[in-house]
Amino acid sequence: MMNFKKVFVGLLFVVAIAFMLVFLDTLCVFKAVIGLPCPGCGMSRAWGSFFVGNFGKAFFFHPLFWLVPIVFVFSMINGGRVLRSKIANKVLWVLIAVLFLGLYVWRMLVLFPMSAPMDFNFNALLYKVIKILGGF
């Protein structure tokens, strides 16, 4: 039997992505609103590069791009948990979060503000509002 809640959430996700692409001209709401890249910035470009065989560029855009589908598949197989043990599952999620946040900090220090995907979005909503209010 099909789980309608999961189907609804999936459709909502697709509609949200379409909205972001059409109206914000980006997949990253964080960057479109705040101007700063998010910890996942570069993930779409990484997968795009991977699928055309440019693996070096894929790892440049986001070195952890390969981790997302692995975790997703294991999560779906085990009913939302990657590992069977609750403690091991929590430790794994903390390690993944530390990896993503550590990589984010490193990329912000090395690449920000002018190297894609860690560049600043000067068309971001918050930046425009601050600029109008005389902050920059």
Report pLDDT digits (tens) over 93-123: 899 999 999 999 999 999 888 888 898 988 8
Grade residue 22 by pLDDT with cuts at 50, 70 and 90.
low
Q: Which pLDDT does position 46 carry in this prediction?
A: 92
pTM: 0.72
Report pLDDT digits (tens) over 35-73: 899 899 889 889 999 999 999 999 999 999 999 888 878
Instruction: Provide the token pair at 30.
Output: 């964080």
Q: Which pLDDT does position 105 carry in this prediction?
A: 94
| Range of weakest confidence among 39-43, 48-52, 80-84, 87-91 | 80-84
Q: Which pLDDT does position 61 carry in this prediction?
A: 92
Q: Which pLDDT does position 79 carry in this prediction?
A: 66
Q: Which pLDDT does position 24 carry in this prediction?
A: 61
